Amino acid sequence: MPFAQALRLAPSQFPDTSERSPILHQLLENALGVGRLKRLHAQLPAGLEGAAFVEGALELLGIKPSCSDAEVRRIPRRGAVIVAANHPFGGAEGLALLALLLRVRPDVKVIASEMLAGIPELRPLLLPVDNLHTDGGVSRNFTPLRSGIRWLQGGGLLLIFPAGTVSHWQWAEGCVADPSWSRHLATLVRRGGAQVVPAHIPGSNGPLFQWSGMIHERLRTLLLPREMLRRQGRPLEVRFGQAIPQTQLVERPDTEMVAYLRWRTYLLGERRDGKSARARQDATVPGEELISAIPGARLAAELEALPAERCLAAQGPYRVYVASFGEIPSVMVEIGRLREYTFRQVGEGTGMASDLDRFDHSYLHLVLWHMEYQEVVGAYRLGASDHVTSPEDLYTSTLFRYDQTFLERMGPALELGRSFIRPEYQKQFAPLFLLWKGIGGYVARNPRYRTLFGPVSISAEYGDRIRRILTAGLRADSQRSELNNLVAARSPFPSEPLPVAGCARQGSDCRPTAVDLADVLADVAPDLGGMPVLLRHYLGLGGRVVAPLNRDPDFADAVDALIVVDLLQSERKTLERYLGADATEAFLAKNAAGQPAANCA
């Protein structure tokens, strides 16, 4: 068994007392658990090595790696991959990770201590490193580093514990955690051309292990066999994060890259347990009883009375209309009811019987209508910045402070907001796509509006930890916009991530970018389905957050991001999807001759 063999094969670390004092030697082996591990090791069939030995050892110890199929699928099947893991126990997690990885692909190596390299059965899987000796160990450790780079350059998978030693009490962190991670991890990423999969194993060794290490680090090592036996018969949970492409890492300096990868690893330990998704189905925002639904025939009559050119998009039974409040008063009453109903389902809403405000009377409204069912499926509202007399005439001014300078720098722009798709249609692709086809149709007819802006809400159901992560990534992205200094949140939401256990010292090095956010959310809150749909959609259009995020206590404590999209910065194929090829050509030609809008990117 690993540590039994390792202790025997590392005499400079654990002097052999068997000849000088066999009784003392036997007592020590039994006290430390070495004797029991030897007896277990003897039960393994002879000739096992590599993957077969790993599986046999885990079965003998009764240690069952626990990991969902969805997370195992996050491990790329081919190509250069580094799996970077925390090191809480010292042995069991290495076997568990090797077993899981070898079930996915055969080309797996692990950078392990020289002590483990003394186990003949594991040698085919190991790139040994000496973390026990200080004299000469540094120079010797360049050999596994070079071997690791070559392995990655050949397209292999490399498992690494960047701490090099087992997690133990860290005074600076105030908890049991890995010591500092090696900067060699950054070298492997850069020179090996590898993507990185974070892996987190919850738990830690016992109090005796922690206290012994405060006396001398070698006492901790002596207790590793005992800690291995403590894992017997218990499941060992492993969490894999989303694979992080090398291109998202190499822009960071080495120290920052390593800190960020450590943060992504320990962040997996903060993962929500999925109960929120179930709670969301049962616990909506309390409030007044909603108004009664308007009969479909009355709604249909108002929409059918609109001029034909008010239909901006059509597909199957769906139609998208644009109209003012006064043209469709009954439809607007129904929209107010549906807004409130839909927003309450995701932990938002005003708490009123209907969600209509003073801005609805002066804005235009996009209405997604189902002709067969005679019902409103969704809606958007549009406010033209060049049709208002002051910023106070725009809804966003209630959430963010800005003056006429901000509007002038954007140029003619459309404020988008209060969008919704009723819950029973949200899993379908067509509704949101058609609403955006409607926006595209309106822009095609009014090409002076090259800029779209508006608030995107992040509901309280995400929790402050996740919203702080989102805020940090989006806020860092907003610093690049020249509009950033022209807008301020009325009730700013904190822009620094909450500390993560094991990474309290990392600070701003852990801040994600907007590009990372979807994967970070998938890691820490898989039950929420990732990033809010509209936020993801705006970012996909090239949108940028241009102000600190705002907390809105009047909308169930939602947090709002102010997004600005310069359509000339969007990909042409994206514009063609919503405007059509001919209209895109005309839109680009019209705006190419005009004055440039403010740089939002």
CA separation for the pair 338, 324 (Å, rounded): 18
CA separation for the pair 283, 345 (Å, rounded): 8
pLDDT at site 32: 62
pLDDT at site 595: 52
E strand intervals along 438-500 = 451-458, 488-489
pLDDT at site 440: 97
298-337 tens-digit pLDDT: 999 999 999 999 999 999 999 999 999 999 999 999 999 9
pLDDT at site 597: 56
Helices (H) and strands (E) in the chain, counts: 24, 21
Residues 6+ apart with CB under 8 A from 572: 584, 588
Please give the full DSSP string across 41-110, using - where no structure is assigned.
HHTSPTT--HHHHHHHHHHHHT-EEE--HHHHTTS-SSS-EEEEE--SSSSHHHHHHHHHHHHH-S-EEE
Please give the full DSSP string across 195-259, using - where no structure is assigned.
EEEEEE------HHHHHHHHH-HHHHHHTHHHHHHHTTT-EEE-EE---B-GGGTTTS-HHHHHH
pLDDT at site 118: 59
pLDDT at site 121: 84
CA separation for the pair 337, 332 (Å, rounded): 9
What tokens does 60 get?
């003998």
Residues of each domain in the chain carrying CATH 3.40.630.30: 278-592
Q: Which residues of the chain have pLDDT under 70?
A: 1-37, 40, 113-118, 128-141, 213, 273-285, 476-480, 505-509, 593-601
Residues of each domain in the chain carrying CATH 3.40.1130: 2-270
CATH of segment(s) 2-270: 3.40.1130
CA separation for the pair 90, 20 (Å, rounded): 30
Amino acid identity of residue 91, one-letter, is G
pLDDT at site 278: 40
CA separation for the pair 218, 129 (Å, rounded): 17
Query: pTM surpassing 0.85?
Result: no
Amino acid identity of residue 158, one-letter, is L
- Is 278-592 assigned to CATH 3.40.920.10? no
89-137 tens-digit pLDDT: 888 898 999 999 999 999 999 987 645 665 778 888 988 665 544 444 4
Q: Are 413 and 393 in contact (CB under 8 A)?
A: no
